Amino acid sequence: MPPFLALAFPDIDPVIVSFGPVAIRWYALSYVAGLFLGWWVMARLAERPPAPGMAPVLTKAMVDDFLLWATLGVVLGGRLGYVLFYNAAHFAAHPIDIFKVWTGGMSFHGGLLGVVAAVILFARRRKVPTLALGDLCSLVAPIGLLFGRIANFINGELYGRPTDVPWAFVFPTDKSGLPRHPSQLYEAAMEGLLLLLILAALARFAHARGRPGLITGAFLLGYGFFRSVAELFRQPDAHIGFLSGTTTMGQWLSVPVAAAGVALIWAALAGRTKTKGT
């Protein structure tokens, strides 16, 4: 297919500004924006009652303290997840490359595990309900996903499979020169904006925070589903390719995420989770 049938890729420099060897990139800014906007929303929600007749279970000060824990969970977990899930052979042969985070390579599933660990450890240390904190984190997590996927698009990375749809792009980082799905934008729309709206509606109109773990379960199930759908359009990593049949690593990693979501939703609706001591 000739490239002229595709949309022109936006001429956006991945580097926002540089000062000598130091460069500020859109990708790094997306992490900062996601974390701080998520913190701001969490702080506003923390002291509100989870549901009518219930007392708040967290304070703004606790959310302020949790920001550092969440940042470490996202960054360390995301990097280690990429190392273990996506390129273990390379990093086993070149262990020093693990620390070269500026070269790229982060995994959402690893970042998720990192945040889960941060939530559990922080909740135990500060003696707050684990699931209540997890629900707040889940409410704001799509914000980070939205910014992150847009940054992936700006970087021209994690692009989609070849296609003839009229909104296809030729990515400058793709040596094939074929028009491809802007799968990063699909993920931004589904995992970011749509999932954010679904969770906000659950919290506002169904008072889902009154059932600890319900929002966390909805987030995990929603992400697992939307990521699996997006993988149908996303080009698999070149060094991994397709796994069984036409499935991808992203889909395989999303199965236990979605299963955990179903389990949490069932437990919350069955009344097996409690606001205190969870």
Give the pLDDT score at 1.
Answer: 44
Which pLDDT band, with edges at 50, 70 and 90, does 23 fall under? confident
- pLDDT of 2 reads 45
- In the chain, the percentage of residues whose pLDDT exceeds 90 is 69
Phi, psi (rounded to 5 degrees) for 25:
-110, 155
pLDDT at 274 over 70: no
Q: Is the pLDDT of residue 277 over 50?
A: no
Cα 81 to the center of its chain, rounded Å: 12
Cα–Cα distance, 109 to 182 (Å, whole number): 21
**Predicted TM-score (pTM) above 0.75:** yes
d(CA 260, CA 255) in angstroms, rounded, equals: 9
Output the furthest CA–CA distance in the chain (Å, rounded).
Answer: 62
For range 68-86, the mean pLDDT: 92
Over residues 161-188, the pLDDT tens digits come to 999 999 999 999 999 999 999 999 999 9
pLDDT of 238 > 70? The answer is yes
pLDDT in tens, 201-226: 999 999 999 999 999 999 999 999 99
Q: Report the range of poorest mean pLDDT among 11-25, 50-64, 213-227.
A: 11-25
Instruction: Identify the burial level of 206 via C-beta atoms within 10 angstroms of its C-beta, where 0-12 means exposed, 13-18 middle and 19 or more buried.
Output: middle
Please indicate whether residue 134 or residue 273 has the higher confidence score (pLDDT): 134
Query: Over the chain, what is the mean pLDDT?
Result: 91
